[in-house]
Amino acid sequence: MEVKKVLQDENCTKLIISLDDGYLIENCFKYPFWICVTTQVGCPIHCAFCQSGKNGFIRNLTSNEILEQIKISMQYAIGEYSDEFLFYTVSFTGMGEPLINIDNVFDAIYEIQNRSDSEITLTTTGINSSIQRLFFTQRKITLDISLHAIFPDKRINIIPSEEVNPIIETIKFVLNNKKRFKKVVFDYLLLDGINDSDNDLNQLIACFANKRASIELIKYNTIIENDIYKASEPEVFQRFYTELNKNGIETIIEENVGIELKAGCGQLIWKYSEVTTNENMFSIRKNTTTEANGNY
Ligand code: SF4
């Protein structure tokens, strides 16, 4: 595994990492606070608003590749190899649907929890058969469910897996088992004219009022030129925020980071070895810190 390119601003670092079979994946982090980890080369879910699945799905990452991705990011941040996981939060939120790669993701979570105090967050579109396996992690994790619509006919156009994993079942299951998780958060990407009507808001309220649920409203990041999707207007965010909180649903508006680097939500992509720059390149080094020091 080798870093091919680094993009950075004050809030975020994005790495383009070459895997041993030549595929390039991306992740992003702000050391030591958080890292957004990629779990698949591409994504088989093909959410309409997300770039990660647009080039198709190639393969799952192994647990080793997931863990090395964290170590190589730390190596870049602190300048030397460390075998520890020193991020406060490790988020399985990068490219891929982690619950489709559940065995490897589960092994990686287990290893991180065994060897660090990192908080674990996992974002999923709701793969119902896999969610209960997360009950058995050593310490509880935070589960982020990507809602983006409640009405099935609307959601299926945004997240096609709605057809086999209806969000209503996921919501019911997760709310009934909330105590098994550290926290459960429902993400709602507000798309102009798509899922931001009064009807959508009322449906959200009907689903979550008096359920001690938390919702994060997310701003859409443009992924291509002439995109058919657009982020909802600020007043729509404010209306959802006010009405949901008024109905006892703890709601926040998520702050977007890394947009200029194309490292924001839905912007990470995979490619096949096209990046050739030598700038900032280094390989992950194991065994001794001496070997790693200053060698990139
Ligand atoms: S949002 Fe997540 S699940 Fe959907 S296509 Fe992107 S990476 Fe896959």
Angle formed at CA 15 by CA 13 and CA 19, multiple of 5 degrees:
160
pLDDT of residue 289: 31
Which listed residue (12, 26, 68, 162) is catalytic? 26
| Catalytic residue check, 50 | no
pLDDT band, very low/low/confident/very high, at 281 (cuts 50, 70, 90): low
Residue whose Cα lies nearest atom 3 of ligand 1: it is 97
Alpha helices in the chain (DSSP H): 63-78, 102-115, 128-131, 152-158, 167-176, 198-208, 234-246, 289-292
| pLDDT tens profile 99-151 | 999 999 999 999 999 999 999 999 999 998 899 888 888 889 999 999 999 99
Q: What is the pLDDT of residue 81?
A: 83
Cα–Cα nearest to 159, from 44, 45, 39: 45
pLDDT digit string, tens, across residues 167-183: 999 999 999 999 999 99
How does residue 263 score in pLDDT terms, banded at 50, 70 and 90?
confident
Pocket of ligand 1 (CB under 6 A): 43, 45-47, 50, 52-53, 95-97, 125, 266
Q: Which of 12, 36, 43, 265 is catalytic?
A: 265
Which superfamily does CATH assign the domain made up of 2-287 to? Aldolase class I (3.20.20.70)
- Cβ–Cβ < 8 Å for 126, 167: yes
At 279 the pLDDT is 47
